[in-house]
Amino acid sequence: MLLFAARRLMLAVLVALTVSVICFFLLHLSGDLAQALAGSSSSASDVEAVRKAYGLDRPIIVQYLGWASRVLTGDLGQSYFFKEPVAKLIAERLPVTMVLGVCALVFAVALALPLGVVAALRPNSWIDRTALTISVLGQALPSFWFALMLIIVFGLTLRWLPISGSGTWQHLVLPSIALGYYATPAIMRLTRAGMIEVLASDYIRTARAKGLRAPSVLFKHALRNAVIPVVALAAVQFGFMLGGSIVIETVFALHGIGYLAWESIARADFPIVQAIVLILASVYVVLTFLADILNAFLDPRLRVG
Amino acid sequence: MTAVLEVEGLRVDIAMAAGALHAVRGVDLALAPGETLGLVGETGCGKSLSALALMDLLPRRVRRSARRMVLDGEDLAAASPRRMEDLRGDRMAMIFQEPMTSLNPAYTIGNQLAEALMRHRAVGAAAARDRAVELLEKVGITAAGERLRQYPHQLSGGLRQRVMIAMALMCGPRLLICDEPTTALDVTIQAQILLLLKALQREFGMAMIFITHDLGVVARIADRIAVMYAGEVVELASAAELFAAPGHPYTRGLLRCLPVPGRDRGEPLGVIPGMVPNLAQEIAGCAFANRCDRAADACRAAPPPWAPGAHRARCILAPRAVA
Ligand SMILES: Nc1ncnc2c1ncn2[C@@H]1O[C@H](COP(=O)(O)OP(=O)(O)O)[C@@H](O)[C@H]1O
Ligand SMILES: [Mg+2]
């Protein structure tokens, strides 16, 4: 088990490293950063001055190694726009995005898992079709549109919940639903397919042959096996949600890192963009790692080797 | 002594898009305490469905019905699904053909064994564990205490089937149904499992239904044999009588398919020509008539009556054949 965890951890670090390299090079190759920073109307000598001042004249490998070695000491650099440490700017906004992501994931799982189980119990019945419809709507609706509908119905018409800003838990309800609903179809379908397959398996027949009651057969014996692939999917979906939070944070005026990333791209605030990509990649990698560990806990066959 | 199990007119119907498939068409069975009944017949003749019907383990689209179905004085035909759950694993238990997939991969052997006892008896985890160790030892598994902590994937097929047997015996059932328990195993392990089942049956004094498509296997374990064909029992006799003087042409056909030590090496095994009738339709006469080399018009007209006596065959020619 320890060996398994260590291996997964090494793989995870490798992935984060790769992502940071790719992102760094892509950002540098996507255009002339010095030109963008100096402004499109500035003279060639100004651009050169900016290039020198920000160290953009050095070879790209040197730039990357410089950045990477500073990151390892915990220094994410200075924002070009805010003239403040990137770490501080991100630290202020990261909790908003994380809390939003976790709430959205909890909402998605809480909706999709029961729907998937119920649908699997009576495949092709009206219950199944209703569950499918509910979840497919989540995928068919564009997330900004769905978010706006939520705002109109629950914020403006019914006046149950605040529609923008942050501060109380009520502020998180609509954004979490808007973000999480998007992940329900995939989770629900995988749960349903997993449950249908597991319920037809020989060991479920064995469980019933022992005389076990339905809840024990369903939850102890079936669901435990059916959720194994769902765990990995949920981790991937969480990654998508962090990406999707750019839209949702904008619609609900939540100042998380999704919103910050969007602003910073527009301002060519390269250190911030690079740092956010690194952080999102790390979060994603950590999550996948945790999912692997949870899977090994759920499925003893994965624990060896 | 009263019978452990009495079944009359057991039918199993499968709901299909085109209508019902009558997979089991009126099976009668009776078992005395401690007796082993062999249920034989070609693949697809309804053996498994009959067994699953007794256990009330049929899939959703499949329905059972019976004129009479009594286990140890308890009317199974009238029992509610909840009552059937109480009986399953306690008074009647079943082991299956697929040892590799019949155990839950997510739980330890100990957990799955203990669960079988704790479901039906008010015992604690420690007592259930002790019982599990006792039974693992009885089914010939060494270092039973350590096995309890292992997962199914760490065990071979033969060991898993032994675990399944131990699990079935946790509550000391009155009836054990074995559905082709050795078919998926190596020949040497097959023989071990057969001996084990026989020994355990004697020790526990339980009745056993042993299902197989292999007459060679059933000869080694059964006291009486019921031969099934197309959803019906066509012959019922003690094992010795059945092999000595098969009364039904189908049984004779099966016996010709059996490799026996005396037979010449080069001589091909017999095969029964023809096809099993379509079970979606009602069959007017003898279900075997279309494959029988001695079939007469009378065979196709009406279902053949049982020949009288302890050795019974469902064939109009049987009385002559047996007498
Ligand atoms: N779930 C099912 N759906 C459709 N047909 C089935 C199902 N289970 C069994 N059957 C059919 O019922 C007949 C009897 O099956 P079974 O009892 O499993 O035979 P066996 O004697 O080999 O154990 C077979 O013809 C089989 O094709
Ligand atoms: Mg079968």
- Contact status, residue B45 vs residue B104, Cβ threshold 8 Å: no
Is A250 within a domain? yes
For residue A153, give the CATH number of its domain. Answer: 1.10.3720.10
- Contact status, residue B35 vs residue B78, Cβ threshold 8 Å: no
Is the dihedral angle over the CA atoms B69, B74, B78, B81 positive or is it negative?
negative
User: Which ligand is closest to the CA of B14, given by its number?
Assistant: 1
Residue B268 has pLDDT above 60, yes or no: no
Which residues does B contribute to its contact with A (CB < 8 Å)?
Answer: 55, 57, 85-90, 93-94, 96, 98, 101-106, 115-116, 119-120, 151, 153, 164, 167-168
Q: Which two tokens stand for residue A139?
A: 């995928």
pLDDT in tens, A13-46: 888 888 888 888 887 777 777 777 777 777 888 8
Asked if A212 and B85 come within 8 Å (Cβ–Cβ), the reply is: yes
Q: What's the confidence (pLDDT) of residue B285?
A: 86
How many CA atoms lie less than 13 Å away from B17 in the CB half-sphere? 0
Which residue, among B56, B80, B101, B102, would best test binding to A if mutated, counting the most A CBs under 10 Å from its CB?
B102
Considering only the beta carbons, identify the residue of B55, B96, B151 that sits closest to A202: B96
Mean pLDDT of the region B7-13: 95
Query: Which residue segments constitute the domains of chain B, with CATH numbers given?
Result: 5-91+171-313 (3.40.50.300), 99-170 (no CATH)
Q: How far is A201 from chain B (nearest CA, A)?
A: 8
Q: How far is A284 from chain B (nearest CA, A)?
A: 27
Cα(B168) to ligand 2 centroid in Å equals 18
Residues A94 and B61: their CA atoms lie apart, in Å, by: 53
> What residue in A sits closest to B51 (Cα-Cα)?
A209
The chain-wide mean pLDDT, for chain B, equals 90
Considering only the beta carbons, identify the residue of A202, A212, A300 that sits closest to B119: A212
Is A27 within a domain? no
Cβ-count burial B92-127 (b if 16+ within 10 Å, e if not): bbbbbbbbebbbbbbbbbbbbbbbbbbbbeeeeeee
Highest mean pLDDT among A88-97, A146-155, A180-189, B101-110: B101-110
**Is B306 or B46 the better-scoring residue by pLDDT?**
B46
How many CA atoms lie less than 13 Å away from B59 in the CB half-sphere? 13
Asked if B89 and A221 come within 8 Å (Cβ–Cβ), the reply is: no
Residues B323 and B305: their CA atoms lie apart, in Å, by: 16
Which residue, B21, B27, B69, B18, is CA-closest to B232?
Answer: B27
Q: How confident is the model at residue B132 (pLDDT cuts 50, 70, 90)?
A: very high
Q: Does A263 touch chain B (CB under 8 A)?
A: no
Is A253 within a domain? yes
Residues B157 and B238: their CA atoms lie apart, in Å, by: 32
Q: Which two tokens stand for residue A166?
A: 């942050």
Which residue's CA is the nearest one to ligand 1's atom 19?
B44
Q: Does A70 touch chain B (CB under 8 A)?
A: no
The CB of B48 under 6 Å from ligand 1? The reply is yes
Residues B283 and B26: their CA atoms lie apart, in Å, by: 12
Is A5 within a domain? no
Q: How confident is the model at residue A301 (pLDDT cuts 50, 70, 90)?
A: confident
Contact residues, chain B, for A213 at CB < 8 Å: 85, 119
The CB of B278 under 6 Å from ligand 1? The reply is no
pLDDT in tens, B275-304: 888 888 888 888 898 888 888 888 888 888
The chain-wide mean pLDDT, for chain A, equals 86
For residue B30, the cross-strand partners are: B6
pLDDT in tens, A133-173: 887 787 777 778 888 888 888 888 888 888 777 777 888 88
Q: How confident is the model at residue A236 (pLDDT cuts 50, 70, 90)?
A: confident
- A257 φ/ψ angles, rounded to the nearest 5 degrees: -80, -20
pLDDT in tens, B63-84: 999 999 999 999 999 999 999 9
Which residue's CA is the nearest one to ligand 1's atom 2?
B14
Which residue, B298, B275, B272, is CA-closest to B285?
Answer: B298
Residues A265 and A267: their CA atoms lie apart, in Å, by: 5
* B167: helix, strand or coil: helix
Asked if B96 and A206 come within 8 Å (Cβ–Cβ), the reply is: yes
Q: Does A52 touch chain B (CB under 8 A)?
A: no
Q: Does A159 touch chain B (CB under 8 A)?
A: no
| pTM as predicted | 0.85
Is A110 within a domain? yes
User: Which ligand is closest to the CA of B184, given by its number?
Assistant: 2
Work out the end-to-end distance of chain A between its first and last CA atoms, rounded to an integer number of angstroms.
8
* B133: helix, strand or coil: helix
The CB of B303 under 6 Å from ligand 1? The reply is no
Say how many domains are in chain A: 1
Which residue's CA is the nearest one to ligand 1's atom 5?
B14
Mean pLDDT of the region A33-60: 81
Structural domain of residue A241, as residue ranges?
A: 93-292
> Tokens 């076990």 appear where?
A212
pLDDT in tens, B29-61: 999 999 999 999 999 999 999 999 999 999 988
pLDDT in tens, A90-143: 999 999 899 999 999 999 999 999 999 999 998 888 888 988 888 778 777 777
Q: How far is B99 from chain A (nearest CA, A)?
A: 9
Work out the end-to-end distance of chain B between its first and last CA atoms, rounded to an integer number of angstroms.
29
Sheet holding B207-212, edge to edge: B92-95, B175-179, B207-212, B36-40, B224-229, B232-238, B312-313
Looking at this protein, which amino acid is placed at residue A122?
R
- Contact status, residue B200 vs residue B167, Cβ threshold 8 Å: no
- Phi-psi bin for A42: left (phi > 0), alpha (psi -120 to 50), beta? beta
Which residue's CA is the nearest one to ligand 1's atom 23?
B48
Residues B288 and B302: their CA atoms lie apart, in Å, by: 12
Mean pLDDT of the region A195-212: 96
Q: Which two tokens stand for residue A268?
A: 């060519």
Q: What's the confidence (pLDDT) of residue B322?
A: 44
Q: What's the confidence (pLDDT) of residue B173?
A: 96
Contact residues, chain A, for B115 at CB < 8 Å: 210, 212
Interchain CB contacts (distance < 8 Å): A and B: 67
Asked if B105 and A210 come within 8 Å (Cβ–Cβ), the reply is: no
Contact residues, chain A, for B89 at CB < 8 Å: 209-212
Q: Which residues, including other chains, have CB under 8 Å from residue B197's CB and lie 6 or more apart?
A: B165, B178, B181, B208, B210, B221
Q: Does A295 touch chain B (CB under 8 A)?
A: no
Q: How far is B95 from chain A (nearest CA, A)?
A: 8
Mean pLDDT of the region B123-146: 95
Looking at this protein, which amino acid is placed at residue A296?
A
Contact residues, chain B, for A202 at CB < 8 Å: 96, 98, 101-102
Is A160 within a domain? yes
Alpha-carbon dihedral angle through residues B51, B56, B58, B59, given to the nearest 10 degrees: -160
pLDDT in tens, B182-222: 988 888 889 999 999 999 999 999 999 999 998 888 988 99
Q: How far is B103 from chain A (nearest CA, A)?
A: 5
Mean pLDDT of the region A64-70: 87
Is A206 within a domain? yes
Q: How far is B245 from chain A (nearest CA, A)?
A: 37
Contact residues, chain A, for B98 at CB < 8 Å: 202
Cα(B211) to ligand 2 centroid in Å equals 8
Asked if A300 and B89 come within 8 Å (Cβ–Cβ), the reply is: no
Q: What's the confidence (pLDDT) of residue B321?
A: 44
- B29 φ/ψ angles, rounded to the nearest 5 degrees: -140, 150
Asked if A224 and B106 come within 8 Å (Cβ–Cβ), the reply is: yes
Which residue's CA is the nearest one to ligand 1's atom 24?
B44
Considering only the beta carbons, identify the residue of B55, B94, B104 that sits closest to A207: B104
